[in-house]
Amino acid sequence: MREKRPWIERTLRRMRESEEHFPPARLCDGGEVPYLGERLSLSVETEALRRRARVSRRGPELRVVLGPDTQLRPALEAWYRRRARIEVAPRLDAAVERAGRSYDSLQIRGQRTRWASCSTSGAMSFNWRLLLAPAEILDYVVEHEVAHLDVQDHSARFWRLLESRWPEWRVHEAWLRRHGHALRL
């Protein structure tokens, strides 16, 4: 502990600073959740006869209706996963079209250590938690993965290609490194 103390203190300080600029989700009636750079207010109700949770967005409000045996966090995660496909697919289609490439499949997952991945066969996988970040971060991650269709590693060649397609990539990469830990419900 003593040996790692400076690192621990530095990491905790960065996490506190990050939460000041990027407040965590508040999962309760009247709380808030992030969505692509917006803050959506939560309206949570319980209906005695409801078996499955229902989540719907109306402008800046996210309305959640729970049943007696359903919980808020899993209901929100399921909604984010559905929305991730809706948000990622058109961005991915546009990016591969600009690059003159194609991909094999799209999966939305909840990886703990990756924001996205691209297999050698062109299977794309994106983390639903990217919807908790600003939209430009999602756009960057999509471009990053599309660049992997041409260069599978993170060599100098990859970063030059990404730079040619997304010149501001460093800003977004730095944002993810600094605030990525806060992208959670």
Distance of CA 123 to the CA centre of its chain: 18
Domains in the chain with CATH codes: 18-182 (3.30.2010.10)
- State the pTM of this model: 0.88
94-146 pLDDT, tens digit per residue, is 999 999 999 999 999 998 889 999 999 999 999 999 999 999 999 999 999 99
d(CA 154, CA 45): 47
pLDDT over 90 at 7, yes or no: no
User: 76: burial class by Cβ within 10 Å (0-12, 13-18, 19+)?
Assistant: buried
Question: Roughly how many angstroms between the first and final C-alpha of the chain, as a whole number?
Answer: 29
pLDDT single digits (tens) 74-92: 999 999 999 999 999 999 9
Answer yes or no: are the C-beta atoms of 162 and 139 closer than 8 Å. Answer: no
Strand partners, 65: 45, 54
**Residue 25 has what pLDDT?**
86
